[in-house]
Amino acid sequence: MINTTLWQNNISMNNSNTLQAINATCPACGLLCDDIALDNKNNQISITNSGAKNCTKSVAFFEKKPAEVPPQIAGKPATLAQAIAKTAEILNKTKQPLFIGLSTDVAGFRAVFNLSQKTNGHLTHANAASSQCNLNVLQSTGWQTTTLTEVKNRADVIVCIGTDIVSHNPRFFERIVWHKDAMFVDSQAREVIYIGENCDVSAGISPKGRHPSLLTCRAGDLPEITLVLRALVAGKKLKMVEVAGVKVSDLQVVADKLKQAKYAVLAWVAKDLHFPHAELTIQNITQTVAALNEKTRAAGLPLGGSDGDTTANYANTWLSGMALNDSQVEHDCVVWVNGFGIDKKAPKSDKTLIVFGNSNCQFETVPDVFIPIATPGLDCSGALFRVDSSVVLPLKQVRETSLPTLAEVLSEIEKLI
């Protein structure tokens, strides 16, 4: 049982003026970079290694000072015991709560899942809409994807479709593409190609100064453009000379490079494909990979991953046998879970609202109950699936806190239901 005295410390760390050096894993994006060097002085965290210091997501995650806020009931301070009791009271009266957000680690999701089972709840991740696009393609036609390690060691041609990637995974090129220790390819000789709109291609410039290729198009035209690329890779003869403002001859050049590659990788971020027929774009990409694999080696690489969405999808599948989806059923209570995100707000709702969030959590409307929780990777240890789903990485506790973990709080609530 957790100690429900409001500021009872969960841990003991040296909080003196002595500087503590810590190596940690960053959960701010799906790459889960595990080379983060941190200093902890007086419980204030600072990043010290150059690569991570240049990552805006890592800096925002580790260096933001935590707010010291107590649990709240209807906007008024309460003890943790009172907030837990009030939450249990609300959930005992609801018929079908909606558990949304689900920004947490493996242990946190398991606790949410258990509570949802006991309360007849429905689960939806904050990123479910984009995750659903990938899932629908995987379920309907299957795909051949790769891991970040394989990309680092083998890829010689990388095509980024519909995104600049670094806005979602800032260190992808530093840690994966231009990594000097690639085993089976000269990483500096890789060819990078962008197809999309408003792509920042600066990260795609090799350390030796080689610039990437860029085919500019509107995001909404990607279904047509990727379909033509798929046809060209399959050896189809096309009469058109242009598709959506892109020359077919330019797409033919890309197709030829893909066919000549020893290990081609086609990467995308589903979050950026928010237009009609986004699933068709992903299906065209994965079917292009399938066509390439008839004569050479190629793979898809779905990137992005944030707020623990990969973890939530996998954990839900092994616990229930079902995938998470983006449908929001009829509900009489909203339970917002946000252990990671500092920029996401609990949704507006005319239903009863319960929030389990990090100490910097913000609201559109005052929740009926708010319980601040420890952030995995900062305030407590934990574990997350990397975006390529090939490994689970441990998260370290790097600062002192008085906050309980999500799993601890939900376990106490479950006992009262």
Reported residue count of the chain is 417
30-72: pLDDT as tens digits: 999 999 999 999 899 999 998 899 999 999 999 988 888 999 9
- pLDDT, residue 159, reads 98
388/344: higher pLDDT: 388
Tally the C-alpha atoms within 13 A of residue 89's C-alpha that lie toward its C-beta.
9
**Cβ proximity of 285 and 293 under 8 Å:** no
Q: Give residue for tokens 């990969």.
A: 310
Q: Is the pLDDT of residue 2 over 70?
A: no
Q: Is the pLDDT of residue 8 over 80?
A: no
Domain covering 142-303, topology: Dimethylsulfoxide Reductase; domain 2 (3.40.228)
Q: Is the pLDDT of residue 380 over 90?
A: yes
122-164: pLDDT as tens digits: 999 999 888 899 999 999 999 999 999 999 999 999 999 998 8
295/359: higher pLDDT: 295
- pLDDT, residue 19, reads 59
- What mean pLDDT, rounded, does the chain reach? 92
- pLDDT, residue 362, reads 84
Q: Is the pLDDT of residue 10 over 50?
A: no
* Other Cβ atoms closer than 10 A to 110: 18
Q: Is the pLDDT of residue 376 over 70?
A: yes
209-266: pLDDT as tens digits: 999 999 999 999 999 999 999 999 999 999 999 999 999 999 999 999 999 999 999 9
Going from N- to C-terminal start, the domains of the chain cover 20-63, 72-127+308-415, 142-303
- Looking at 1.10.530.10, 3.40.50.740, 3.40.50.2300, 2.60.120.10, the CATH number of the domain 72-127+308-415 comes to 3.40.50.740
At a CB cut-off of 8 Å and minimum separation 6, what does 151 contact?
158, 176, 177, 265, 301
Q: Which two tokens stand for residue 210?
A: 């080689």
Predicted model pTM? 0.91
* Other Cβ atoms closer than 10 A to 7: 12
Cα separation, 293 vs 258, in Å, equals: 10
169-188: pLDDT as tens digits: 999 999 999 999 999 999 99
Residue % of the chain over a pLDDT of 70: 95
Fold match between domain 72-127+308-415 and domain 142-303: no
161/10: higher pLDDT: 161
- pLDDT, residue 68, reads 85
2/31: higher pLDDT: 31
